[in-house]
Structure 1
Amino acid sequence: MDARGQLPTGDPDAGRLAYVVHATFVVLLAAATVRFVQRHGSNANLPAVIVLALLLAVLYVAISRLRPLTAPQLPVSWPPAGHLAVLVPLVAVWAALVSQAPSFAWVAVPLIYVTLHTLPLSAAFALIAVLTLFAITAQLTLAGRFDLDLVVGPAAVVAFATAVFARLQRLAVRQRSLIDDLIRTRRELAATERRAGVLTERQRLSMEIHDTLAQGLSSQRMLLQAATRVWDADPVKAHGHIRTAATIADHNLAEARRFVHDLAPADLAEGSGLPEALRTLASRESDAALTVRVHIDDHTGVPLPDRVQSALLRIAQGALANVREHAQATTATLTLTTLEDEAVLDVADDGRGFDRAARPSTAVRGHGIPAINARLRQLGGTLTIDSAPGEGTVLTAAIPLEQPQ
């Protein structure tokens, strides 16, 4: 079936049925003609019967071209006038033939299928009933006596065949309707998935920008502000802040280039792994105001999956940005613990802390904690924040690891 749920013109089953019906018409018409010639060769009506048989064949070919038996569905409304202009003479010629030679009554079998494919069902049923009655009458005339079998048999066969045919067509219509619904649902689902993909990509871009460029720019601003404040009193320290800001700018440039090409974080790009990337991050974030330490506790000796390494490094970057901007801490410690079933990153600082009851973890400035939560949800991880006023803050990100099969 095609996208509209209809049988294509080249459907093999429909084509085979059409060939069978056409072959049946030819065989029955030829057999009835030969029979009439053999038994009534000297009959004065012989030329008229042969002409009517040829005319019936021509009209049958014409109606088959106008309304092929391979049409995708039965008509639900009256056909064009051109179709009726062929169907009506076809039935009339057949009736004339039957009146001259009752053996032509069997040609009604293929004509029934032609009728069903040309008229709406109600009209087709009525015409089929007329054809059946006419054929029964012709058979009784040919027999020369009343025979109940000649009445009940053809009527029952036609009724059964027509009912089965109509039932199958209704099932086909329902199937086409279901296919249409399925196609429409799939298109709607695809559109929904595209919209969800766009939203997911926007969220990813937002997190990447926050965890790389935004944090780097924030650090540069703070360092340049610090350099401005001590420029006159301590030029050496001011130049140190400027050098650190330049280093962060270089790193941001590398991040931006990799971000454009959708590659891994710059600190992981060298292939040294997450522990070394965390040490590089700690070295870059450490200055006179904040010291960042790293502790690695690896119980497996197996490198973490790339997605997990990238997520934990981004979480560490975001957490340290929050520490520098909000905590007023002098020391921060990154602790990476790798177990058989999960990887855990703890970011602890000795800053001012906060009251979690008064300020929930989601009520934070910018994208920091929400971005961390989003990254963890994508990997099935969890986020825990422990803090109290004056006692610092500990952020714990845990990501489950798939067990090798």
Structure 2
Amino acid sequence: MIRKFKLIFPVLIGILLISCNQDPTSVGYDLIKDDATLSFHLFNTDSANVKTNSYTYQRNLQLGISSKLLVGKNDKYEAQALLRYEFSVPDSVITLAQGNNLNISEASIYIKLKYYLGDKSLPFDFTVHRITSYWSTAGFNTDSLDALQYDYRDIAYEKTVDDTSITFKIDPSIVLDWIKYSADSNAAEPNYGILIKPTNNTQRIVGFNAYQLFTDTDLPALTIMYGRNEVTDTLSALPYMDVHAIKGDPVISDNDMVLQGGLFNRGFLYFDLADLPKNIIVNKAELELYIDELKTIDGVPSSDSIIVKVLADSVEKSYTSDSTITTILSRDGDKFKGDIAWIVQKWVSDTSYTNQGLELYLADEKESLATIWIYGARSVNEGIRPKLKITYLKSR
């Protein structure tokens, strides 16, 4: 016990409302009577020898809503991206195309890079292919990629890759087909877009902005140069459907929590808090997770935040009614830290809220291919196991 004092309950409430980081439900504030004698206590899962469990598992999520597309490969994984462009062209251009009088002299794509995994000096190369089968972002995964049909001919040329961008030109006849198809679906081969694949000598991964419903900032732009009445004009198009998929086996650990972007590896963490008193007000519950930096592979921007969700069932990995409420752990040197006081308060105060553990995942798991390795509950070194330090108020 740190100190004792006597407070009038309404004053205590005011202090707690200021000091608590998160309080979605205010559970716990009716557990201490007015004018009670209170004391601060510290419950440390390390010193209390609390039973802890942790491991890695996978979620089956969709990459179609990712805000970035990844392309490239390393010694463990390969990322491929699909893009389909939408055309809004003047009627005069459509008339030229339908009359076979549209001359497209050049079609180029400019990609502004937003993500990097691996040394920028390592080789990066790619091929571009015309997709010949239907696909949709809904439910697209590695199996969908394996079933995809495409022309094996590389339709890209004059490729340029630097630290900030990728540019290349594609076969103008294909773009002409796309324009014809946009005007009349019977006039040309369907527009199923392009597939971007890394070559075998590629040793790093890059990322760029994907289509989002409310923004088109820095999307891979297709610029078309065409002739009309001896005058060269330009048209631009942006992708309206895109997705990437990852090939490679996720890292699964029965003890450590290996959080991986792109593969949806998540961590399970459980602390047995049966010895924690029930009628308390949790002021702070700091969760600390230590990083195995030798096994961690991070990108730029770094995966520096972990999302914590409450589980309703530790076997089914189902969520509670508070699943939309999340807590963020931020990286601090060699560990992640964050306050999960509201979760612990629900566990000890709400009889309908059983402690079934926590789910942990990278905040950027859809946009990265990082591997963040967290030491587990059975690590040989006790000092780097997951820790939970709970500060609480209890009446006497």
Q: TM-score band (shorter)?
A: under 0.3
Q: Scaled by the length of structure 1, what TM-score is found? A: 0.20
Between Structure 1 and Structure 2, which shows a larger proportion of strand residues? 2
Between Structure 1 and Structure 2, which shows a larger proportion of helix residues? 1
Of structures 1 and 2, the larger Rg is shown by 1
Asked which structure has the greater RCO (Cα within 8 Å, sep 6+), the reply is 2
Q: Scaled by the length of structure 2, what TM-score is found? A: 0.21
